[in-house]
Amino acid sequence: MGRKRVLIVDDNRLVAESLRAMVSAQSDVDVQVVTDGAQAAALLQAEPPLDAVICDLGMPGIDGITLFQALGRRGSPLASRFLLITGGAITDAASGFLAASAVPCLQKPFDSAELRKVLAPLLAD
């Protein structure tokens, strides 16, 4: 089992860097952080491939649901290794999406133990 690559997408730089610290504490994980959905969309097509994505649900421009749906349309295996996070009010559309999908979602604030518990199966081979 080699090193894993995780992309963190959050428009709040402080939250993104906090998540980086939490995920990087696992010695076998490399983390890349971007602060907008457009950057994330470009990276999700890059090589080498990523192993998991942690993405804020609500962001200006391209949000977490839009990124997830784009992966699904392309048949990307990352669609099954996608974790949404949210710290704010969830729209009716987002609530409906979460209820109808199997995408895990963590409510901010959460601690590193909660994050590891949800992330571990996404990174499992």
Q: What is the pLDDT of residues 21-69, one digit of tens each?
A: 999 887 789 999 999 999 999 888 776 688 999 999 988 889 999 999 9
Please report whether residue 125 resides in a domain.
no
Tokens of 93: 């559309």
106 belongs to a structural domain: yes
In a domain, residue 24? The reply is yes
Domain that holds residue 57: 4-120
CB-based burial label for 55 (10 Å; 0-12, 13-18, 19+)? buried
- How many domains does the chain divide into? 1
Neighbours of 91 (CB within 10 A): 13
Q: Is residue 43 part of a domain?
A: yes
Q: What is the pLDDT of residues 17-27, one digit of tens each?
A: 999 999 988 77
The CATH number covering residue 109 comes to 3.40.50.2300
